[in-house]
Structure 1
Amino acid sequence: MTSFSLGDTDFLRDGRPHQVISGAIHYFRVHPDQWQDRIRKARLMGLNTIETYVAWNAHEPRRGEWDASGWNDLGRFLDLIHAEGLDAIVRPGPYICAEWHNGGLPVWLTGGTGGLRSSAPEYLVEVSAYLRRVYDIVAPRQIDRGGPVVLVQIENEYGAYGSDAAYLETLVTVTREAGITVPLTTVDQPVDRMLSNGSLPGLHKTGSFGSRSTERLATLRRHQPTGPLMCSEFWDGWFDWWGGVHHTTDVATTAADLDALLAAGASVNIYMFHGGTNFALTNGANDKGRYLPLVTSYDYDAPLDEAGNPTEKFFAFRDVIARHAPVPDELPASAAPAPALEVPLVAGGAWTTTAGSAEPTAHPETFDALGHQSALMRYDVDLPHGNGGVLLVDELRDLGWVSVDGRAVGTISRTRHDRAIRIPGGRTLSILVEDQGRVNYDHRLGEEKGLIGAVTLDGAPLSGWRSTPLDVAAIAAGIGRDAVSDAEATTAGDGPTAWTAEFELDARADLFLETASWSKGYAFVNGFFLGRYWRNGPQRTLYVPAPATVAGTNRLVVLELEQLIERRAAFVPSPSLGATEE
């Protein structure tokens, strides 16, 4: 069997110096039927390795319900990498960041366990059980057992979060006891404090950065006197958030930084080679003083775009890699325009008015208290004496639509730091609250969602709340195929309304669903949850993977929260991810 180890200056493959040239593909962000295509294109760019995180909350969204099949079939993903003749790097966390909701940690864990990312005993029990499940998949696929896995990472950028050496030591012990024999790595930004706090003796330190490669490698070498230098997150792009711009990096500049890394003899993992998509409700969020939920696309301005097509960056990186390593002669096919078509949308009725069955409570229940993992919760309360006034919420996570007796009043918003609104008198106050994405970074992991704390009207607490969870995927599945009445269709669009359409395809195909003339909501094709859309931008299209479509009649369901500017659905030839800063 092949061996893989650390030498004085290089990785050693069967005792010979080896430069890792890797690219990131997150299997949980790509339709499983498209894994093989993306992996093959990685080889064609000249990569010899594929890296992936493991998202714990994808595998175990509810405690004890472990799933390693379908989208979560990590073993199959690694086997496809091996079949393509490539190596694999696995980064199981348990925390991964990755702009993925809750940083990859399950909500049931972060909501009920103290001492996150520490040696707190209760946390370590759960983490150890999780890692053992992952290593049951990874251990038999290590390179010294005939598989592709050459490196396994311990935690993730831990030096930016904490310095609990006992925690890292436990992760190492669990990893080695589970049969992982390949070298173990850590990654941190090339900052002295982070590199010192985020690793242990015996773990190989690597860096994460996207520019000034020579300078960053020198910092890394001060902390890693021997062994191969590696940038295990070479940031070739960046992520986007709602209300921002679409982030891109200059192709020539990024290629030059990659060239500097490889010329220095350093190994590299390009983050991302192919970003994929935050399908359904899997986007994360940042909050460094202002809450910024991330968009559905995770295109990342990567060498392969969101639909798996090679970009200018793909060919620039391929040319750079060819100066340092063999590159296949074969080239991937250029992107072809996606089918373009337009169909009218038919009103399917209101969809957030489900009657709640819960008993009233003194305070609003959070999503977490009710074990609710979908996007919406509706809160209803009777107004005392029918009075209006100034409504004030202690804390809102994350966006709320306020209405009185079914009449829209306005919105309150975490992003806008806006917790108050004046409401008119009436019988019933309703607040529809959206979880826009869980923070994936720093110490806000696991924060509760919904209406938090007291809600007052002119300073007096409101009590007797009815909290109704709304599962948007289940609601979409239940939307009928028949149009609503003429009267309902005439008034449709003045609040949350479902819309449907059918469209024909000659064959399965990648599609780009235009959302610019809609306001905010969720879209589904043949029951496949594409994700969130929002006119706030920058993203203007949703990617529809070909395996989600069928030859013949396809069905679109749109759950709109506000209003449609145009009652139509258009599929366009290419993606529109928004304006850039250039």
Structure 2
Amino acid sequence: MSDFAIGESDFLLDGEPFRILSGALHYFRVHPDLWADRIDKARRMGLNTIETYVPWNAHSPRRGVFDTDGMLDLGRFLEQVAAAGLYAIVRPGPYICAEWDNGGLPAWLFQEPGVGVRRYEPRFLAAVEQYLEQVLDLVRPLQVDQGGPVLLLQVENEYGAFGNDPEYLEAVAGMIRKAGITVPLVTVDQPTGEMLAAGGLDGVLRTGSFGSRSAERLATLREHQPTGPLMCMEFWDGWFDHWGGPHHTTSVEDAARELDALLAAGASVNIYMFHGGTNFGLTSGADDKGVFRPTVTSYDYDAPLDEAGRPTAKYHAFREVLSRYSTVSAEAPPAVAAPAPQFSVPLGEPVRLLTDPAVWGPASRHATMPTLDDLGARLALFRTELDGDGPVLLSIGEVRDRALVFLDGDPVGVLERDHRDRALMLPRGRGRLEIVVEDQGRVNYGPRIGEVKGLLGDVQLGPDLLTDWSAWTIDLDAVPALWDSAAPATGPGVGPTAWRTSFAAEHPVDHFLGTDAWGKGIAWVNGFCLGRYWHRGPQHTLYVPAPLIRSGDNDLVVLELETMADPTAHFVPDLSLGPVES
């Protein structure tokens, strides 16, 4: 057991000055069988600590549930950090941002009208306390003063960029202490006077988040905190990507120079990210600062380890900088990985959503259009019969986030939130109207957190309100098993279609699934959801971690929502994350 404390100018480990050299590694973005590999590479780069967020909504997808299986086994992750001889920082939120769906806040929180999220409001605080008790039950025995690796715990996350409610922050800190956390607590904010004041707590160490002008930012932090160690809790060494944008990268030389300046000033650091990993499933979030921009599946972040866990030029540059301030392992840096297997297999046995929606489950009936939240869905099909004249205007109050419109099975158009689409012309006002609605990820930053998804407001045909809707929730977890009950289609077809195939592998090694010839959809390997793809890019591969691959036959399932120009699965030798910004 060790004692860890905040001193007059340093962190103190058993009474001696200790500099935290940390890297962000989110257990929920990395296959658990690869945690040890990523942690070991952090140690070999020269880090002594691993930091992770905790995503409330992943652990609690439904009220009353707290899941710690597989990729959510936080306790196992922290034990592996300790086994590697490293320390840990835990940031449980309750809000985490992290470019993660809804900033980590469960969607079910918002189903009760008037719940005051991220402020002192009794119903929200009751839910937060239950969550913190559950997650901190895992962390409490793993604190450094109990023989574990955990040095620090963070209260909330960049709260000064959101609100100014010290009573709320005090309540969250009190819940953490009540749950048995005895290690020091910290807050983090961007180093401006306003944010540090609004997001800080007396008696809790303030830390900063920034990626440039280190000396200036540390000086601002010191102005608002005359004593205590200086720390950049998020040293941004890269950035994340949005669908339709460039792949963001940062200069290796600039990042290394800023890291050197930070350490030369005597500060501690948490490199965000050391290894970004992947937004598997439908876990990526979105921005909306006037324009809705969903985040891509890859969370490569241009980090020292790429999405597949391989050292980059930034890894070697950071290792050299760290060696000036601490002892770096004498072990050689990890070797360059061999290219992934390259081959192609045809997709077959399509199951078409519009042909027989019943294969996806029973329909529910609604007098007016329900939201996706009403259905508990991320993707759904809505159908009604039209009995009018045409052509005629179809209009919708608001689209969140994407709607594919079909008339008698023929595609009519797409309504997209980022284009602010709300209406399109139908060629006739008679026939079977079907709308496939997709939630592309909940906003993770700012005032639009928690907003309802689906088609909001009235759905009208000309001046008339459309009623009598049938709705099919598309259970994405059940897609890989569709063929157990559905007869595959033959010949060409339109609309959302599930495809499957098998491929052989000699050994379980990383694979990269090329998606540039496909439209927009989701893919699974051996029942595991790899995430979304989209022809918009920038990324045109989905990462398939080696532990998902079986020696012998493997199953690939693809749900294509638009048009698949080439119904073939192309596995390629490397990541394709898209053109970089100029």
**1:417 aligned residue:** 420
Q: Contact 2:305/2:315 (CA < 8 Å) preserved in 1?
A: yes
| Matching of residues 248-267 of structure 1 within 5 Å | 248-267=249-268
In the alignment, which residue of structure 2 is the partner of 1:456? 460
Q: Is the 8 A contact 1:310 1:335 kept in 2?
A: no
Q: Is residue 447 from structure 1 mapped to residue 475 from structure 2 by the alignment?
A: no
Match of 1:542 in 2: 542
What displacement does 1:480 show?
Answer: 5.3
Gap runs ≥5 in structure 2: none
Q: 1:354 and 1:131 mapped to 2: Cα distance?
A: 41
Counterpart CA distance in 2 for 1:571 and 1:140 is: 44
Aligned AA (2:407): V
Instruction: For 1:412, give the aligned amino acid.
Output: L
| Equivalent runs, 1:98-137 vs 2, <5 Å | 98-112=98-112, 114-137=115-138
TM-score under structure 2 normalisation?
0.97
Deviating more after overlay: 43-52 vs 420-429: 420-429
Deviations, residues 217-259 of structure 1 (Å, cap 9, x unaligned): 1111111110000000000000001000100000000000000
Residue 347 of structure 1: CA displacement? Answer: 3.7
Letter in 2 for 1:455: V
Determine what percentage of the aligned residue pairs are the same residue.
57
2:398 and 2:19 map into 1 onto residues whose CA distance is 50
Distance 2:107 2:334 in 1: 40
* Structure 2 equivalent of residue 514 of structure 1: 514
**1:223 corresponds to:** 224
Q: Is residue 208–residue 221 contact of structure 2 (8 Å, CA) maintained in 1?
A: yes
Pairing partner for 1:475 from 468, 474, 479: 479
**Secondary structure, aligned partner of 2:131:** helix
Distance in 1 of aligned mates of 2:475 and 2:135: 29
Q: Contact 1:524–1:557 (CA<8 Å) still a contact in 2?
A: yes
Aligned-residue offset at 1:503: 1.1
Residues 1:436 and 2:449 aligned together: no
Which residue matches 1:404?
A: 407
Runs (5+) with no aligned partner, structure 1: none
Give the counterpart letter for 1:348 in structure 2.
P
Equivalent positions of 1:60-99 (< 5 A) are: 60-99=60-99
Residue by residue, what CA displacement relative to the aligned partner does 1:261-285 show, whole Å, maximum 9, x if unpaired? 0110000000000000000110100
Instruction: Describe the shift of the 1:483–1:429 C-alpha distance in structure 2 as closer, same or farther (beyond 3 A).
Output: closer
Aligned partner of 2:375 in structure 1 is 370
- 1:263-282 equivalences in 2 (<5 Å): 263-282=264-283
- The two structures, once aligned, show a CA RMSD in angstroms of 1.4
Partner of residue 349 from structure 1, selected from 348, 351, 371: 351
Q: Deviations over 1:397-444 (max 9, x none)?
A: 101000111111010110111111000222221111000111111111
- Alpha-carbon separation, structure 2, partners of 1:571 and 1:481: 29
- Separation in 2 of the partners of 1:483 and 1:382? 26
Distance between the aligned counterparts of 1:382 and 1:181, measured in 2? Answer: 62
Asked if 2 retains the 8 angstrom alpha-carbon contact of 1:348 and 1:479, the reply is: no
1:94-243 matches, within 5 Å, as 94-112=94-112, 114-243=115-244
1:95, CA displacement in angstroms?
0.2
Return closer, same or farther for 1:357/1:347 CA change in 2, 3 Å cut-off: closer
Structure 2 match to 1:305: 306
* Aligned partner of residue 415 in structure 1, secondary structure: helix
SS of residue in 2 equivalent to 1:491: coil
Task: Determine the C-alpha separation between the residues in 1 that align with 2:284 and 2:14.
Answer: 41
Contact 1:189 1:209 survives alignment (8 Å): yes
Paired position in structure 2 for 1:53:
53
C-alpha distance in 2 between matches for 1:190 and 1:335: 39
Larger mean Cα displacement after TM superposition, 470-479 or 121-130: 470-479
Aligned residue identity for 1:94? P
Mapped to 2, the partners of 1:480 and 1:245 lie a distance apart of 40
Task: Please say if residues 235 and 269 of structure 2, whose CA atoms lie closer than 8 Å, have aligned partners that are also in contact.
Answer: yes
C-alpha contact 2:351 2:486 (8 A) present in aligned 1: no
CA shift, 1:111, in A, is 2.9
Report how many aligned residue pairs link the two structures. 576
TM-score (norm 1): 0.97
Could you tell me which residue of structure 2 aligns to residue 382 of structure 1? 385
Contact 1:29 1:279 in 2 (8 A): yes
